[in-house]
A and B are shown apart, each in its own frame.
Chain A
């Protein structure tokens, strides 16, 4: 592909533009909706760009007046951050040793099969037992309870991802460290984990997104501002008699911000984690 013709390279760029357009168009429309007035949104023919920028919905959603829609929304935003954050951190803490152990003991391959099998189970199959377990421990409508449920979803996924991340790290490095006199924790901390950092970063982002986007369990196991997460709160906005599509779009934009922020922060590790599996000694 050294000598592409000009037309070919033009074609490539056009296609890339097209793909970008397809991916970005819904997001752009989401944003446009969030700043359009209701009149503009219901106008026929459709207004592609609002006559005036209307930020009232952002104000409404972020307002802290008692018993307002804003208070409930902000509470759910923080609930989401808490639940997804706790579940992700716990999942990484569980999955790093588990993934490493699985990677270094091929005899345990069947465990990995079991892990993937649990991951394949549809959530609805587990919802009733989980409900009873949470009820028994008094963890219904509780961020810790929901975090625990999310941990059970994230841990298998992250373990599996990290196992394949540890696989390409040569075992000779561990042998050398053992002969050099490193204890297990030193070996992991100084030698292995720095090399696995890109994969751990990738796993963190995916786990966080998975927890952030979860709707089904959150709907079942939470009932009010105490523990309700963003996905449920957004659904509530659509549940009234009149649906304010602009408001839902605004909530969508705000809900997208934290993951995007994390994505940007961890972009470098994400990219190297996805492309670079090998470790050159």
Chain B
């Protein structure tokens, strides 16, 4: 069943268009992440869904009922803010129960619901405190609790983890995921952090300049990016982009560092390959790229190695126990299936059949 439907959503501030026609269908129980750099319109889209602002044009429905012109309080939607937005003058219990209080739920069932939500989030020992007495992680839990306690149709999260330090962010991330698995609620989650998007989402919408560049599962987004923009946005270290040159009998890569025979593109293309697709050991059907080690960055479990192929630098993530020295010759082995091709002009991905290539 489809819960949230967005049809041709436009939003302009004066002559400046922030959203340029968003279409989106959200399944019940789905965890959709809106991912994009700042200014791409992802937060604007969230505030339209929440009802804090109105779209310039377009239609929104939640479970078949229109949301256009409906006040936020009547939408059955809860939101968790980046700043937590806890009411500083109210106790934790009253913060969590605020939505129920405003909806006139009687005291005893309110208290029971608050306690239940607090237990789920492990803040039941903090109910009498004020938000100022809580740590960042605890505040975040209370903010989630405030959203949870109302059992709304839809949860909105606006970069909820970006105010936390790195360790806490990872903990809360897993916890959010666990919570989602446990409660099966429908979530729209905004972030600029691609790791958060990859780990949490059931589907990711990568946004760019007011449009959805690609909508798909994390695996699709990562392995089959729709465009060079998506490919470069996802993954750390970022994907390698190499120039290609069309020759009569095939595609030359990085000024002759490699050659894909029998391939022809009708337009100029660039090649993308993920750093972890470059392997140090040979395997069946692999392309061989010869280069010189330029830079080694050890991250712990692996090392990020910069290799010069002629004049082109590529980054490879290699096992940490591989002994390498700067200036050393190295052969990298690449599965041709993991090569991605993008139109050099508009950046769209192009499928070139790279299967029957011979190694040059």
Contacts and interface: CB of A to CB of B under 8 A. Distances in A.
Interface of A: 170, 172-173, 175-183, 186, 190-191, 194-195, 279-281
Q: Which 10 A-B pairs have the closest CB atoms?
A: A172-B85, A181-B73, A181-B102, A176-B85, A180-B99, A194-B89, A179-B72, A178-B72, A172-B81, A172-B83
A177 B103 CA distance: 12
Q: Is the interface of A mostly helix, strand, loop or mixed?
A: helix
Nearest to A194: B89
Interface in B46-83: 50-52, 71-73, 75, 77-79, 81-83
A130 to B, nearest CB: 41
B256 to A, nearest CB: 56
30 contacts: A172-B82, A172-B83, A172-B85, A173-B87, A175-B52, A176-B79, A177-B98, A178-B52, A178-B71, A179-B51, A179-B72, A179-B77, A179-B78, A179-B79, A179-B99, A180-B99, A180-B150, A181-B99, A181-B102, A181-B103, A182-B98, A190-B87, A190-B90, A191-B89, A191-B90, A195-B88, A195-B89, A280-B88, A281-B85, A281-B86
A150 to B, nearest CB: 32
Contacts of A176: 79, 81, 85, 87, 146
Interface in B223-266: none
B131 interface: yes
B132 interface: yes
Contacts of B131: 281
A281 B102 contact: no
Contacts of B83: 170, 172, 281
B31 interface: no
Given A179-B77, A182-B73, 11 more contacts: A172-B82, A176-B87, A176-B146, A177-B98, A179-B79, A182-B98, A190-B87, A194-B89, A195-B89, A281-B88, A281-B131
B146 A180 contact: yes
A181 to B, nearest CB: 4
Contacts of A175: 50, 52, 72, 79, 81, 85
B289 interface: no
B84 interface: yes
Among B71, B102, B150, find the residue whose CB has the most chain A CB atoms closer than 10 A.
Answer: B102
B37 to A, nearest CB: 22
Contacts of B87: 173, 176-177, 190-191
Contacts of B98: 177, 180, 182
Given A179-B72, A179-B78, A180-B73, A170 B85 contact: yes
A68 B21 CA distance: 82
Contacts of A281: 83-86, 88, 131, 139
B135 to A, nearest CB: 13
A6 B102 CA distance: 58
Nearest to A172: B85
Contacts of A170: 83, 85
A173 B73 contact: no
A194 B52 CA distance: 23
A134 B86 CA distance: 49
Contacts of A183: 73, 102
B88 A279 contact: yes
B102 A180 contact: yes
B132 A280 contact: yes
A186 B98 CA distance: 11
Q: Which of A181, A186, A280 has the most CB of B within 10 A?
A: A181
Nearest to A170: B83
A63 B41 CA distance: 74
Nearest to B81: A172
A281 B146 CA distance: 15
Contacts of A181: 73, 99, 102-103
A43 B68 CA distance: 85
A191 B88 CA distance: 8
A280 B102 CA distance: 23
A180 B102 CA distance: 7
Contacts of B85: 170, 172-173, 175-176, 281
Nearest to B102: A181
